[in-house]
Amino acid sequence: MTYWHCCNKPAPAGTARNALANSSTPSNVPIWPSRKERLQPVACLLHDIGHLVDGGDEGDALRGIDARHEERGARLLRRWGGEVVSEPVRLHVAAKRYLCTTEMGYLATLSPASVRSLNVQGGPFSAAQAEAFIQQPYAPEAVALRRWDERAKDAAACTPALHHFASYVKEQLATYQP
């Protein structure tokens, strides 16, 4: 189960649960979310795991170093969830750069730490870079991951306990077949 199931919050647009809730013809809607939909929350939950592998990167952004945590995290997660998990993780930094360029006011919503890392990671995309980014496979999923990550920083949001997520991640990754 994902966070929106636990908190009685509306499911993100484009998910099977959202389509079912808003459809007048439920027979056309899948009852169970697709494998991709089930693995997207795994990518969201683990997208910053690259900060912890290979000795970690604590303080690197403060020193002006881009530790490429997205690449390290994607390499680690690829073996358990394939591209459905690893590619949104690999692209989540680029998605932040994309949103800063394409969405008026997005940059102003970022925390000071996120702005600092954005600058180290290359800053907002140019218009051409943004267009090239969004054409990549898994770019829309990376943008969705960024949006979920930003919502997760809301201290008033309903968030299930860690054990809930741990069991979900274990269940989804245990069933992965490359």
Mean pLDDT of 39-61: 79
Give the confidence band of 178 by pLDDT, cuts at 50, 70, 90: low
Mean pLDDT on 71-96: 90
Averaged pLDDT, 105-119: 91
Between 32 and 123, whose confidence is greater?
A: 123
> What does the pLDDT average to over 89-107?
96
Q: What pLDDT sits at residue 176?
A: 66
User: Are 97 and 124 within 8 A, CB to CB?
Assistant: yes
pLDDT tier, 31 (very low <50, low <70, confident <90, very high otherwise): low
Greater confidence (22 vs 133) lies with 133
- In this model, does residue 129 exceed pLDDT 60? yes
- Distance in angstroms (rounded) separating the CA atoms of residues 4 and 6: 5
Q: How confident is the model at residue 97 (pLDDT cuts 50, 70, 90)?
A: very high
Higher pLDDT, 34 or 3: 34
Q: For residue 71, give its domain range.
A: 3-174
Total count of domains within the chain: 1
* pLDDT surpassing 80 at residue 119: yes
Best mean pLDDT range from 143-152, 155-164, 167-176 = 143-152
The enclosing domain of 130 has a CATH number of: 1.10.3210.10
